[in-house]
A and B are shown apart, each in its own frame.
Chain A
Amino acid sequence: MSASIPNLNTLRRGRGRGRGGVVGSGGRVDNDAIVRNTDCDAATSRLSAVEAGYLNDPFARYLTDESWQRRLPLMNRGTYVRTTGIDRIVDTFLLSTTGQKQIISLGAGSDTRYFRLKQEQHTNFSYHELDFKENNKIKIARLKDPQCVQTIKTLCSIDISTSKTTEDELQSDDYFIHSQDLRDLPKKLDWIDENIPTLFISECCLIYLSPEQADRVLSYFTDMTTSAPTAVVIYEPIKPHDPFGQTMIRNLMSRGIQLQTIEKYSDLLSQRERLTSRGLNARAADIEQIWRDWIEQEEKDRIDKLEWMDEVEEFLLLAKHYCISWGWTNYDDESRWLALSAPT
């Protein structure tokens, strides 16, 4: 009789921790699961924007859970601006120098950028993704899906099925998936080449670490390449103090998601200083400014026609609370970087 009664405490644990944000012994595991899960959200948003015609990303559907749901027009627009904005910075990085380069994406999750770059015929770069073991397992399993393999073969001329894979890691000529907890970085990551231009991407990644951990991670990478051209792009929410921001913090907290560095890097200025203090030239712009200043009018007109956008004020509000900050250093020719406009 008693054997059939489930142990309610084991059931309760995850939820309780998540909600209260209590980190006890073992609490880390539960919070990690929540953070890992944010990738599912991001993938859903991406696929929604793809399906609605905002983004061209034939790979997204293979890397997204089947349970994805359509997002509202303002979310699609936000996803579009975020992706397009970061793409622009990646392009700037890739075009600024001629030789071999590397891109290191922190907490990459289900990101498809490598394949999109390959589809666009970019060469001379290697792409490294770092994430939790659990996320990598899912991604690698999905990449092995025959349809996915076929799509990648057709569009990128890459046979992903021939790459060396373990359960949670992948190695090919220029694409790598590493299982790495950013809180436990070793003294040296042996796959990093410190002597070639390097771009670090954090798309909603560092913000889930504690401020100390996040600072350590950022310094770890920016200190690594001392003389080679180095660039960083960080995308994350800002402005936690106004009513929208407060509500955002509260709502995410109720899902167990803590934006740990948002207090420290709460606005465009502090986001910029975070990079300048590490010796980079830095700029920052919120998503609303990126939409306004970076997207060509023709493209805006195309986007406007995709869906009825009855959330104009709401979009402005939302877009003001997300920022892209980027920095670069050791470049002989900075002209491409300087061409990226941002409010001073």
Chain B
Amino acid sequence: MARCAALLRQQMMRPEFLRRAWMSQLNEDGDEEASFSFPSSLIGLERWRLPQEGCVEFDQPRSSIVRSIRDNFEAIEEDATDLAIAQLRACRPIPEPQVRELCYKARELLIEEGNVVTVDAPVTICGDIHGQFHDLMELFRVGGDVPDTNYLFMGDFVDRGFYSLESFLLLLCLKVRYPDRITLIRGNHESRQITTVYGFYDECIRKYGSANVWRYCCEVFDYLALGALILGASTEVPENRMQEKTFDTQTTLPDQESEIECEVLDANGEVREKLFRSQGNMNPASASRKSPAPDRDPAESSSPATTVSQPPTSPSQSNTKPPTASLFQPPSTTTGSLLCVHGGLSPLISTLNAIRLLDRKQEVPHEGAMCDLLWSDPDDIEGWGLSPRGAGFLFGSDIVRHFNHKNDLSMIARAHQLVMEGYKEMFSKQIVTVWSAPNYCYRCGNVAAILELGEDGSHGGCIRRANGSEGRREMVGGSVNSVGDGETTNGSNQNGGGLNAVLWNLATPGRRYRVFEAAPQGTRGMPAKKPVGEYFL
């Protein structure tokens, strides 16, 4: 038996993970040579059995054992990942060698992704998690489990909370197991420097006795994408998962006037708030929730001399035509696409392509475009401003409007800032902050939210809605006079130009926010001894 194990080790040029799984089974049979042992809590040994019952017997020829392992390789590997997922779901860390293996695999996956990952709707967008593991479980309960729901997490998985390790590794495991179902992008806390200040480093030391796991994780951080581009989002609020799933509800054309643009549900799926889409964004329902000030463009304030401050590289704004639909070139989406990024925009970035050209595989720098994408915040200012965080910038509504226009985006989704209500739409719905760590740091008393986007019918073979709303553009800023449905002309934005600096940006996608509170303490094994939240005493 010992020889068998040794031969296996020699011959199988398989990832270590499989070998270990195999050897731990041998170990159980009393093989002294098997050098690696899993803690018994991890090994549900019956789970490690090969899918084809009985095909692995030690009296079989070696080649047949190897062959059967090779034949069942993927199944075994999935099984192993599933096991790790199960363990992490119970909020128990996995052993260090397994973390190394996981991080290695994750890196192999992430290295294939571009700086801006393309993601197809439907998808659920999540903001900061910050090691609040039990709240992440609550998020999955409210938003649906993986792989039934597609998720996009916009970074800041670690730091501050007590379970950064379990939270990040679980998300990473899910990524490895369901690469197409879950997207992870980098937050400013996915950095060596920040994690040494804000807790993740200390947590790894505490839980493993060395910095190895922290190091493995940091290497993965360097490979995380910087942003994601969501394509094919519908202008309609996605089908409510909580209701009975019936697939043909879309066949009845919804009444144009009563189309729901945005819906807010509580954790039980009860509708708290509904917002109807109407022309020109001037629906009283939405107006009542928004303060007008941040949404107004300077060009509106009737000063002819006002030219909107822009990134220096965009004098050719007026040449940018929206994609016009024709028989041969139907618009790819009914809405524009949606950019997801952890922090926000950068004065050094005026197009998505500029993001794509960055060299991201490094520690987050202290300044520059990559730093800004992870650190910046939208603010009620014009143009750019200095950030109180000491990294990144503040950017105003004009910046967002032009960036979205230029890049055919209907919206930017970002995280990074604590918002007490869980989400906050700004600048005429041009940008939204999504925050997914309820009662942040066990202290802030905030609720959390996730954002669900539905799939536009075009990918599913459904009949395109023939109500003229393809490529529909909505006016952002400027006067309301000339609004017409189906309008596709590019509003004048000539430099030194018009009184009405109206930009016709793409219609926002239908949005459903699910708002949820912190998982109840105690019931989910919250540490009782640890002081909860620091105060000044």
Contact = CB atoms under 8 A, between A and B. Distances in A.
A308 B444 contact: no
Interface of B: 188-189, 193-194, 197-198, 388-391, 417-420, 439-446, 531-537
B535 A310 contact: no
A42 B188 CA distance: 30
A322 interface: yes
Contacts of A305: 390
B417 A313 contact: yes
A128 interface: no
Contacts of A56: none
Given A310-B189, A313-B417, A322 B536 contact: yes
B17 to A, nearest CB: 35
Interface string A215-259: 000000000000000000000010000111111100110110100
Nearest to A109: B537
Nearest to A287: B536
B418 A72 contact: no
A75 B189 CA distance: 18
A308 B446 contact: no
Contacts of A79: 536
A312 B389 contact: yes
Interface residues of A, number: 38
Given A41-B537, A82-B536, A322-B536, A243 B445 contact: yes
A310 B342 CA distance: 13
Interface of A: 38-39, 41-42, 45, 71-73, 75, 78-79, 82, 204, 237, 242-248, 251-252, 254-255, 257, 304-305, 307-310, 312-314, 317-318, 322
Given A45-B536, A309-B389, A312-B388, A255 B441 contact: no
Given A243-B445, A247-B439, A247-B443, A314 B418 contact: yes
Nearest to B156: A310
16 contacts: A41-B537, A45-B537, A75-B534, A78-B536, A242-B445, A243-B420, A246-B445, A247-B445, A248-B445, A304-B390, A307-B197, A308-B389, A308-B390, A309-B389, A310-B189, A314-B418
Contact of B188 (A245, A255, A307, A310): A310
Given A247-B533, A310-B189, A322-B536, 12 more contacts: A72-B197, A204-B536, A243-B445, A243-B446, A244-B443, A244-B445, A247-B439, A247-B442, A251-B535, A305-B390, A308-B389, A309-B389
B532 to A, nearest CB: 5
Contacts of A310: 188-189, 194, 198, 389
B198 A248 contact: no
A242 B447 CA distance: 13
Contacts of B445: 242-248
Contacts of A252: 535
B487 to A, nearest CB: 38
A307 B193 CA distance: 11
Contact of B443 (A39, A242, A251, A312): A251
Nearest to B521: A254
Contacts of B189: 310
A35 B295 CA distance: 49
Contacts of A313: 417-419
A309 B536 contact: no
Contacts of A254: 532
Given A254-B532, A307-B197, A247 B537 contact: no
Contact of B440 (A75, A251, A314): A314
A237 B536 contact: yes
A101 to B, nearest CB: 27
Contacts of B442: 247, 251
Nearest to A37: B537
A42 B536 contact: yes
Contact of B444 (A307, A309, A317): A317
A237 B535 CA distance: 9
Contacts of B531: 255
B198 A314 contact: no
A174 B239 CA distance: 75
Contacts of A308: 193-194, 197, 389-391
Contacts of B534: 45, 71-72, 75
Nearest to A39: B537
Contacts of A72: 197-198, 534
B444 A42 contact: no
A243 B447 CA distance: 9
In the complex, which of the residues A248, A252, A310, A322 has the most CB atoms of chain B within 10 Å of its own CB atom?
Answer: A310
In the complex, which of the residues A246, A255, A305 has the most CB atoms of chain B within 10 Å of its own CB atom?
Answer: A255
A89 to B, nearest CB: 17
A118 B524 CA distance: 52
A307 B445 CA distance: 25
